[in-house]
Amino acid sequence: MEKFTRLTALAAPLDLANVDTDKIIPARFLKTIKRSGLGIHLFDTLRYNENEQERPEFVLNQEPFRGAQILIADENFGCGSSREHAVWALVDFGIRCVIAPSFADIFYNNSFKNGLLPVRLPRPQCEKLMQAARMGANARITVDLERQIVSTPRGEEFSFDIDPFRRHLLLEGLDDIGQTLQHASRIESYEAARRARERWYPPITA
Amino acid sequence: MSEPKSCTLFDKIWDSHVIERFSDGTCLLYIDRHLVHEVTSPQAFEGLRMARRRVRRPDLTIAVIDHNVPTSNRQAGIAEEDSRIQIETLERNCRDFGVPFIPVLDVRQGIVHIIGPELGISLPGSTIVCGDSHTSTHGALGALAFGIGTSEVEHVLATQTLLQKPAKNMKVEVKGSLPFGTYAKDLVLAIIGKIGTAGGTGHVIEYAGEAVRSLDMAGRMTVCNMSIEAGARAGLIAPDETTFDWIKGRPCAPKAEAWDEAVRYWRTLASDPGAHYDKIVQLDATEIAPLVTWGTSPETVLPINGSVPDPDEAGDDGRRAQMRRMLDYMGLAPGTRMQDIRVDVVFIGSCTNSRIEDLRAAAAVAKGRKVAPDVRAMVVPGSGLVKQQAEVEGLDRIFTEAGFEWREAGCSMCLGMNPDRLSAGQRCASTSNRNFEGRQGPGGRTHLLSPAMAAAAAIHGRLTDVRQMA
Ligand code: SF4
């Protein structure tokens, strides 16, 4: 997993509340075998019309936001189903951080598993960031995970809270698996103890 | 000196699998059995590849194809392209990572939750996971078994562990014995009807009491299978002589002295007297009648001699609106007698009810009778081995002579992911576990019931009280 320390990037304003996982990635794209490649269907119904042409009014279809790495949104981002595809689609598009006043639980947890940083900030601060983002190419927003600060192009700083364990994993670029593998010797000694205690336990053979 | 702690079956299995306990209560839990199927695994293997990781314990992992396979004319291959790709991907992943794999044309192929117990892979006291919510089925053997998401599938493949917080303990105690014409399916529908689809949230349900003890293993699996429909993480039944007799001699079960040692250990797993449960629910089996669902949630159960409820009699506005929406989707009017509801399709199958015992119960009703005209009735065994056994017993002939289709093993019409699907507006009497909108195909209408009741519905072309067919 890619480390997340400090990111200065273009932010796309998505002024919508309750963006559900169906909006982020509709169910018909779930029969895939990859987690990559979903970026093209990110926000599919908002982004394309019935003829699969881009809707020019949608923010991610506009320059310079096609290259945005930060997304600013409204309340309850990521509600709906538990599909991890929603996070995969955002990451595949190139988004590394979503800033919103609140997130749905499962989406919030899934984000960390995939190197996407969800930042909760009070609504007035999100509004300021939304305004800044609208200025486009000249307005880069900085998300500093080490200091737990988001700064606007004008230098205003907003601090955010994050679970220390989650923060550590992102800073080190460890996903849950990388983290668990740091306990590899404990897993091995557990296995050895089990083998001694339950000698009868059979392997699976096909 | 402090008293030794009284533990539940869940506590015992949990504690014996904890590798590390973190300060916030999260545990690193060892996983003994990882079952893999084609739908929720491709991204997990892809993740391993990208991070250059291997499967830590292929010898504790097994893969099979079930959700996407057609259940007829298999030699012809798989027509739907995305299904075929998912299947081929699993085959390739298993080859690349050395994971044991059961091919589509192998006689042991079947629904993942049928074959785990059948092959002796699912054992008491084990932790068992699979990227599928109905993993709860394996709890019938006294194993802690639950469904996981794709990132967790990858986590287990790479580490043979999971990060989990312990669940709460809930006991469902059913006294008495099931009356004539009722089965394990009616028992679990009655439980869900009583506690609701959120009744078990955050809990692992241990099923106990005389009615549960006297169930055979197939019945116990039916009950644990639907724990998830009651919102629980998992279902559990303490292993006993019934369990041990059933497992003994299965291909992957321990043999000879190892078997004796295993059974000695398994006998220690039952909950201690005085163990603490966060929630206890009691039911009386003697009051249970054959049940059917009328709505689009598994908790909407009614006795077969009941009538469709009236939303106007609902307690509050929210419930009223919800009932209206359900009845609208189901195409039912309040007050309709359940026994007057005509069906277009009958599906006997799924990981809830496709074991040999289920097929015997259905065949006993179908024997010497004919499926009603205009009804499409299908029997889909849970595995190739179940199918083989049924054919040895002549059940296939009973079904085909009555006009049922006799098909190959798989998830089939339990969910609309393979060619077996309802079309919009079709009504189905189904032995599966979910009656959600569109579950069996877009616009399809599902009534959940037992295999015997499903067979009765096929014969009469409408929902029928199986007790009148003896
Ligand atoms: S039979 Fe149905 S519930 Fe069971 S695993 Fe297959 S799709 Fe899921």
* A117 within some domain: yes
* A188 within some domain: no
Average pLDDT value for residue range A73-91:
87
Residue-level length of chain B: 470
CB within 8 Å: A177 and B53: yes
Mutation test of the interface with chain A: which of B148, B151, B247, B250, choosing the one with the most A Cβ atoms within 10 A? B151
- At B373 the pLDDT is 97
Statement: residue A4 has pLDDT above 60:
yes
In three-state secondary structure terms, A77 is strand
CB B39 less than 6 A from any atom of ligand 1: no
Assigned token pair, B37: 């199927």
A118: which strand partners?
A: A98
In three-state secondary structure terms, A197 is helix
CB B37 less than 6 A from any atom of ligand 1: no
* A83 within some domain: yes
Q: Check residues B81 and A92 and name the one with the higher pLDDT.
A: A92
pLDDT more than 90, % of chain A: 67
The model's pLDDT over B261-274, given as tens digits with 9 standing for 90+, comes to 999 999 999 999 99
B314 at the A interface (CB within 8 A)?
A: no
Show Cβ contacts of residue B286 under 8 Å, excluding neighbours closer than 6 positions: B176, B177, B179
Q: Identify the residue whose tokens are 């309709």.
A: B336
DSSP code of B470?
Answer: -
pLDDT band at B8 (very low <50, low <70, confident <90, very high): very high
Q: What is the CA radius of gyration of chain A?
A: 20
pLDDT band at B417 (very low <50, low <70, confident <90, very high): confident
Helix axes B356-366, B395-402, angle to 10 degrees: 40
Cα-Cα-Cα-Cα dihedral sign, residues B430, B435, B439, B441: positive
Assigned token pair, B425: 């507006």
Statement: residue B136 has pLDDT above 70:
yes
DSSP code of B4?
Answer: P
- At B123 the pLDDT is 98
**Which chain B residue has its CA at the smallest distance from A106's CA?**
B149
DSSP code of B338?
Answer: G
Q: How many CB pairs under 8 A join A and B?
A: 101
B234: which strand partners?
A: B204
Compute the distance between CA of residue A44 and CA of residue A32 in angstroms, rounded to an integer.
15
pLDDT band at B94 (very low <50, low <70, confident <90, very high): very high
Which residues in chain B (161-190) have CB-CB distances under 8 A to chain A? Answer: 161, 163
* B210 contacts B176 by C-beta, under 8 angstroms: yes
Statement: residue B226 has pLDDT above 70:
yes
Q: Check residues A31 and B265 and name the one with the higher pLDDT.
A: B265
- Measured in angstroms, the CA of A8 and the nearest CA of chain B are apart by 26
Assigned token pair, A70: 């930060």
B254 at the A interface (CB within 8 A)?
A: yes
pLDDT more than 90, % of chain B: 87
* A120 within some domain: yes
Encode burial over A176-195: b for 16+ CB neighbours within 10 A, e otherwise.
bbbbbbeeeeebeebeeeee
Average pLDDT value for residue range B401-415:
96
Closest atom, ligand 1, to C-alpha of B382: 1
pLDDT more than 70, % of chain B: 99
How buried is B371 (Cβ within 10 angstroms: 0-12 exposed, 13-18 middle, 19+ buried)?
buried
CB B308 less than 6 A from any atom of ligand 1: no
Statement: residue B3 has pLDDT above 60:
no
Assigned token pair, A61: 């279809």
Assigned token pair, B232: 């629980």
Compute the distance between CA of residue B206 and CA of residue B174 in angstroms, rounded to an integer.
11
Q: State the residue range of the domain holding A163.
A: 6-174
Compute the distance between CA of residue B94 and CA of residue B107 in angstroms, rounded to an integer.
19
A64 upstream amide cis, omega within 30 of 0 = yes
- Measured in angstroms, the CA of B454 and the nearest CA of chain A are apart by 31
Compute the distance between CA of residue A47 and CA of residue A52 in angstroms, rounded to an integer.
9
A202 at the B interface (CB within 8 A)?
A: yes
Task: Give how far Cα B461 sits from Cα of A63, B365, B370, B451, Å.
Answer: 61, 14, 10, 15
Kind of pairing, strands A70-72 and A97-100? parallel
Kind of pairing, strands B33-36 and A149-151? unpaired
The model's pLDDT over B436-467, given as tens digits with 9 standing for 90+, comes to 988 898 899 999 999 999 999 999 999 999 99
How buried is B339 (Cβ within 10 angstroms: 0-12 exposed, 13-18 middle, 19+ buried)?
middle
Compute the distance between CA of residue B45 and CA of residue B54 in angstroms, rounded to an integer.
9
* Cα B342 to chain centroid, rounded: 26
pTM for the model: 0.88
Closest to B128 in 3D by CA, of B118, B138, B113? B138
Q: Identify the residue whose tokens are 């006991």.
A: B171
Average pLDDT value for residue range B106-123:
98
Statement: residue B280 has pLDDT above 60:
yes
A34 at the B interface (CB within 8 A)?
A: yes
* A148 within some domain: yes
* B126 contacts B221 by C-beta, under 8 angstroms: no
Statement: residue B1 has pLDDT above 50:
no
Angle at B414 between CA B351 and CA B173, to 5 degrees: 45
Concatenating the DSSP letter of every residue in B183-216 gives -HHHHHHHHHHHH-TTTTTTEEEEEESHHHHTS-
Assigned token pair, B246: 């059933």
Closest to A176 in 3D by CA, of B361, B51, B357, B210? B51
Compute the distance between CA of residue B320 and CA of residue B101 in angstroms, rounded to an integer.
49
Average pLDDT value for residue range B160-170:
95
A36: which strand partners?
A: none
The model's pLDDT over B191-203, given as tens digits with 9 standing for 90+, comes to 999 999 889 988 9
Q: What is the mean pLDDT of chain A?
A: 92
* A161 within some domain: yes
Assigned token pair, B115: 């074959």
Which residue among A88, A187, A205 places its CB closest to the CB of B160? Answer: A187
Give the CATH number of the domain where residue A128 resides: 3.20.19.10
Statement: residue A81 has pLDDT above 80:
no
Count of the separate structural domains present in chain A: 1
Q: What is the mean pLDDT of chain B?
A: 95
* A37 within some domain: yes
* Cα A49 to chain centroid, rounded: 25
Task: Identify the top-confidence range among A74-78, A198-202, B70-74.
Answer: A198-202
* B362 contacts B348 by C-beta, under 8 angstroms: yes
Q: Identify the residue whose tokens are 């900030």.
A: A121
pLDDT band at A82 (very low <50, low <70, confident <90, very high): low
Average pLDDT value for residue range A19-28:
84
B58 — phi, psi (to 5°)? -60, -25
Statement: residue B32 has pLDDT above 60:
yes
ipTM of the complex: 0.93
* A187 within some domain: no
* B89 contacts B42 by C-beta, under 8 angstroms: yes
Closest to A76 in 3D by CA, of A48, A102, A54, A95? A102
The model's pLDDT over A123-162, given as tens digits with 9 standing for 90+, comes to 999 999 999 999 987 889 999 999 999 999 999 999 999 9
pLDDT more than 70, % of chain A: 99
Closest atom, ligand 1, to C-alpha of B113: 5
Q: Give the neighbor-by-neighbor strand order of the sheet with B161-164.
A: B18-21, B27-30, B161-164
